Structure 1
Amino acid sequence: MTTTTYSDVWDLEVFFKGGSDSSELQEHLNKTEELIKHFEAKVNNWTIANTLEDSKYLKELLADFEGAAKKLFQAGAFVGCLLAQNTEDKKAYSLDAKITSLGAAFQIALGSLDNLLTTFDDEVWEQLMSDEALKELSFVLTESRQKAKEKLSKEEEALISALEVDGYHSWGQLYDLIVSKIKVPFNDQGEEKQLSVGQASNKFSSPDREVRAAIFKNWEKSWGEQADFLAKTLNHLSGFRLNVYKKRGWDDVLKEPLSINRMEKDTLETMWAVISENKQKLISYLERKAKLSGVEKLSWFDLDAPYGKTESKVSYQEGAEFIEQNFALFGEKMAAFAKNAFEKQWIEAEDRPGKAPGGFCTSMPESEQSRIFMTYSGTPSNVSTLAHELGHGFHSFAMRGVPFLNCRYAMNVAETASTFAEMIVADAAVKNAGGEEEKLVLLDDKIQRTVALLMNIHARFLFETSFYEERKQGTVTVEKLNELMLTAQKEAYGDALEEYHPLFWASKLHFFITGVPFYNFPYTFGYLFSLGIYAKALEEGKGYEEKYIALLRDTASMTVEDLAQKHLQVDLTQKDFWEKAVRICLDDIDEFLDLTESK
């Protein structure tokens, strides 16, 4: 047990003093711009001889890339933290726009480099990649070379990157701005309050169904009032994306997200097929939960409701200590990482107005630190979220010393590390329960995440797939968006709910993220993939930590299929692995159904 009292407010001053007014940050941005221009000039001045003599210049370019990339990423992460902690920080919005512009310039230079790599003869390229200093980067460099071959000319791709600043990424920024202005009215014991969307969303975890129903009604109304603006935003964002795909000759909207996630379509389709085949047990859980709640069917606003009538509260300090203790049962390095994050104030968890909704972990590569953002209100689910985000941080910690080019792991494997950490804590909570009722509360919280990842995420995937098909035909209206979402939710939840959330397309940030298209299926992949790793960890015990770190260090330098084959000896394109992973989830439901049979 620690004797230190942990602060629930993060320390950002260690990076740049003064927040969005920081002169240090301005100097950092000026230096970043200078490094990007230097990198760009060096790329443009490279006359390729198409011989092994080119290796020296390529190594110099890669060193320059690393310096510029770390600075750009650090600045972007810092400003992202400023915007999250205070959605009214107008200067931070200006800084965000500046960083987006720098990122676009850097992307153009990278695109030019990738194009240059395509000019090498295959034989010369293979020889270059066998060079000792380039060998460990060969997967990523060859991948970049191949992707460049599938794109437009250097000039056309440069133009797209330049136009993205105001014609693509700005739509995502507009979404953030609209959301920051949304207030959800809530009557708190006679006092009328105006909640931010982050505060309002926490009310869906209330044990009082009347509170959940009331907040949901106002939630729908508040999002509905902005629906026209949000639909316009989504249509333009997706329209830009589709036009780029069309110019490149890409027919399948999944081509880019699958490529980003280094994943085969067969793997994705097999995963969803296995989930669909096993939905009935999830539906049985929802039906049992409805019966226990005294209603015929659950509604959308019941999905995050805790089991039982009493609200279990866990202080931030208690949650932190519980995470530390249980990480220690897995491995010393993971526990030490978490302890350091709490002690050094890497985490922003205070429940206060003006914060952005949701949670995230971001890496500060120059400082070799992470920062975690969430709003902690004391629910068991909050403890899980905290563990989840610490898992992301541990992934970055595990990658220390790996070249930055080999640190750009995709979202699907990023979610693996976070979900693995979450599983450790959730499992421990169930096992340490003081009695049957407490066990049911914690088991229910754990199953809720399974429902979210196998049903909610499936609904997002189904919606986005059908939306993009509609968008190819023209602008999609608010009414049609609602209809598509309702259809997707009914399919994903097996029509087990009484009331759905047709405006979910508006309230879910992930549909508006421009950095990564189809920001949905990687969550489910990461969850089930982590279960496979978790099963392996349970089998091998505490000594598995080093093997786990080795797996994490490989996450950005091979396909997920190769990663699974190398570290787990499984084939992800076959059903076996996915069926075993889903079975682990369903075991929790079996236990819950058994314990509540006579209730």
Structure 2
Amino acid sequence: MFQLPFPVRDANAAGGDKPLGNLPEWNLDDLYTGEDAPELKRDLDWLEEACASFAHDFENNLASLDAEGLLDCILRQEKINQIAGRIMSYAGLRYYQQTTDGGRAKFMSDVQEKITNFTTPLVFFTLELNRLDDDHLSKLMHQNADLARYEPVFDRIRAMKPYQLSDEMEKFLHDLGVVGDAWERLFDETIAGLEFNVQGDELTIEGTLNLLTDPDRDTRQAAAEELADVFGKNIKTFARVHNTQTKEKEIMDRWREMPTAQTGRHLSNHVEPEVVEALRTAVVNAYPKLSHRYYELKRKWLGLDRMQVWDRNAPLPLEDPKPVPWEAAEKTVMDAYNAFDPRMGEIAAPFFTKGWIDAPVKPGKAPGAFAHPTVTNVHPYVMLNYLGKPRDVMTLAHELGHGVHQVLAADQGEMLSSTPLTLAETASVFGEMLTFRKMLDGAKTNAQRKVLLAGKVEDMINTVVRQIAFYDFECKLHAARRSGELTPEDIGELWMSVQGESLGPAFDFMNGYEHFWAYIPHFVHSPFYVYAYAFGDGLVNALYSVYAEGAEGFEDKYFDMLRAGGSKHHKELLAPFGLDASDPAFWDKGLAMISGFIDELEAMED
């Protein structure tokens, strides 16, 4: 199914009426040329027949296959995944370009139903694979090197073995998936359809969130109050979506006998719960020396007695308010990528010239930014909502990093290219760091350096502190839902319980801020997704430290890591760099980089 990656930070950009240059838009022809494209019909027909013949040839037969037979089974499954992924990528990307278009929504829904129906007979594959004896599967892999290549796939599938239900129940849940997805669509369409009036201007959610970075405090306040008002008027819908999605997950987890609500995410991320807990503990313990300390500095810079939530992403008084034209953003990012290694620039270049980026803000377009890998025989597509803020340049660097990673991993094939979320943020955050360092090196004055450092610290706080606070909110939300239906007020109280702790004593919280959980897409689409951002940032900070120290052969090792896709565990991928995420001190090393930037900002005050 089409899975939408979501942005690492809130939308942060200025109003859309500034000259930004020629913003690129997607050309989806590399997938299909239209809903009525003969190739699309051909692929749907092929998929229906391929799924039926796969089930006919292999159901109740996996245990009797020899090594070559099991390899044939895997390759056929991989081809099915590729065709289904291509179709759903096309339908999904068109939909997210204009979520309020009824025709696009219907097309995606119809295609999704067809693919769900076609692929239901394939549910047996993982169930039967998990019934194979460990020794038997190991023997088959030992006999055939091409089959052994898929061992990481087998490991991930078989990690679900203790939580597997009956064949009939698994097929039922597979069929039911399209119903659960309807709640996600309701959320997307509600968010995209919201209208905001700020100081006489009619805006989408993207444009309104962008005003939270406006230099004028009255404008920021007006935007925040309008967000709170509109969220409040729609809060029952958002609470219904969250209650239903969370209850559905609780039922699934209970039937599967998963020990925690987070277990499924940890399994899909191929990461140990204790590693995530070590990350979470390290970040929470660091709140005072990170976010609390930084926002106290920012309070002084802004000349305020107290900070309000609309000041969190305010520009510094000495920040240049001029928007960054698209061509300048492209040059900044490409220069940084090429300076690291020309191979990275070579991979990134086609995104700008071949219709692989959709940059403008448009009515009905999904908010935020993402990079979708599509399938391994096409290429990724990047979505932005570019409005010319320096943070938008960083978002471009971030999403382009995903794109480079996805291109490099494509040679692994459909089953091995997909990277667990914890590692999927590596290239994106590293791309941001390269761009930031390039801009910092080019700073001509202390004021420019201060603005860049402050911007990077804020991005890191949004990536690490804010996302771990989100994770704690989700943990509390899912735990509370097990005791019964949650009112909007109940959910608001859980939200506020993590906000004060993470942002610190410099802040007051306006009435209505208790509704701001409503617009975060991760909570609906991908429960517990958010800690992957903090994981990725901490990992990259440690990784960049190795690079900055001049480690020999770093670039080649880095490209090898990206090419590996999902074929290796995080321990194996980080070993060539002398790093180990299971070591609690690993996270302190990453957090120390953020703290060091704040040290430098404090020193500028003297």
Answer whether TM exceeds 0.5 for this pair.
Answer: yes
Q: Match of 1:63? A: 75
1:353 Cα deviation after fit: 2.9
Answering whether residue 206 of structure 2 is matched by residue 198 of structure 1, we say yes
Matches for 1:92-241 after TM superposition, within 5 Å: 92-102=104-114, 104-105=116-117, 108-130=120-142, 131-166=144-179, 168-187=180-199, 192-241=200-249
Answering whether residue 283 of structure 2 is matched by residue 275 of structure 1, we say yes
Answering whether residue 61 of structure 2 is matched by residue 46 of structure 1, we say yes
Paired with 2:569 and 2:119, the residues of 1 have a C-alpha distance of 23
CA distances 1:228-253 after superposition (whole Å, capped 9, x unpaired): 01111111111111101111111311
1:592 Cα deviation after fit: 1.5
Q: Secondary structure at the match of 1:48?
A: helix
Paired with 1:17 and 1:429, the residues of 2 have a C-alpha distance of 39
Paired with 1:99 and 1:300, the residues of 2 have a C-alpha distance of 42
Paired with 2:334 and 2:209, the residues of 1 have a C-alpha distance of 27
Query: Whose RCO is larger (CA < 8 A, sep 6+)?
Result: 2
Give the letter aligned to residue 580 of structure 1: K
The 3 A distance-change label for structure 1 pair 39 and 95 is: farther
Higher mean displacement: 543-552 or 247-256: 543-552
Alignment equivalent of 1:422, drawn from 397, 421, 432: 432
Q: Secondary structure at the match of 1:308?
A: coil
Q: Secondary structure at the match of 1:13?
A: helix
Higher mean displacement: 400-409 or 383-392: 400-409
The total of aligned residue pairs comes to 581
Answering whether residue 99 of structure 2 is matched by residue 87 of structure 1, we say yes
Q: Match of 2:602? A: 593
Q: Secondary structure at the match of 2:201?
A: strand
Answering whether residue 293 of structure 2 is matched by residue 293 of structure 1, we say no
1:7 Cα deviation after fit: 4.6
Higher mean displacement: 123-132 or 549-558: 549-558
Higher mean displacement: 360-369 or 518-527: 360-369
TM-score of the pair, normalised by structure 1: 0.92
Answering whether residue 43 of structure 2 is matched by residue 34 of structure 1, we say no
Paired with 1:503 and 1:447, the residues of 2 have a C-alpha distance of 26
Q: Match of 1:352? A: 362
Give the letter aligned to residue 477 of structure 1: T
Paired with 1:591 and 1:324, the residues of 2 have a C-alpha distance of 27
Paired with 2:585 and 2:335, the residues of 1 have a C-alpha distance of 33
Alignment equivalent of 1:25, drawn from 40, 45, 48: 40
1:414 Cα deviation after fit: 0.7
Q: Match of 1:553? A: 563
Paired with 2:115 and 2:450, the residues of 1 have a C-alpha distance of 48
Q: Match of 1:433? A: 443
The 3 A distance-change label for structure 1 pair 185 and 123 is: same
1:508 Cα deviation after fit: 0.6
1:21 Cα deviation after fit: 5.6
Alignment equivalent of 1:260, drawn from 261, 268, 271: 268
Alignment equivalent of 2:580, drawn from 568, 571, 574: 571
CA distances 1:147-191 after superposition (whole Å, capped 9, x unpaired): 13421111111111212221x22111111121122111122xxxx
TM-score of the pair, normalised by structure 2: 0.91
Please say if residues 115 and 149 of structure 1, whose CA atoms lie closer than 8 Å, have aligned partners that are also in contact: no
Alignment equivalent of 1:16, drawn from 26, 29, 32: 32
Paired with 1:90 and 1:506, the residues of 2 have a C-alpha distance of 23
Give the letter aligned to residue 504 of structure 1: F
Answering whether residue 519 of structure 2 is matched by residue 511 of structure 1, we say no
Paired with 1:31 and 1:198, the residues of 2 have a C-alpha distance of 40
Q: Secondary structure at the match of 1:278?
A: helix
Give the letter aligned to residue 526 of structure 1: G
Identity %: 25
Paired with 2:542 and 2:378, the residues of 1 have a C-alpha distance of 29
Q: Which sections of structure 1, spanning at least 5 residues, go unmatched? A: none
Q: Secondary structure at the match of 1:503?
A: helix
The 3 A distance-change label for structure 1 pair 572 and 103 is: farther
1:362 Cα deviation after fit: 0.8
The 3 A distance-change label for structure 1 pair 6 and 325 is: farther
Q: Match of 2:86? A: 74
Q: Secondary structure at the match of 2:25?
A: coil
Give the letter aligned to residue 197 of structure 1: I
Matches for 1:355-434 after TM superposition, within 5 Å: 355-365=365-375, 367-434=377-444
Please say if residues 127 and 164 of structure 2, whose CA atoms lie closer than 8 Å, have aligned partners that are also in contact: no
Give the letter aligned to residue 81 of structure 1: L
Please say if residues 200 and 219 of structure 1, whose CA atoms lie closer than 8 Å, have aligned partners that are also in contact: yes
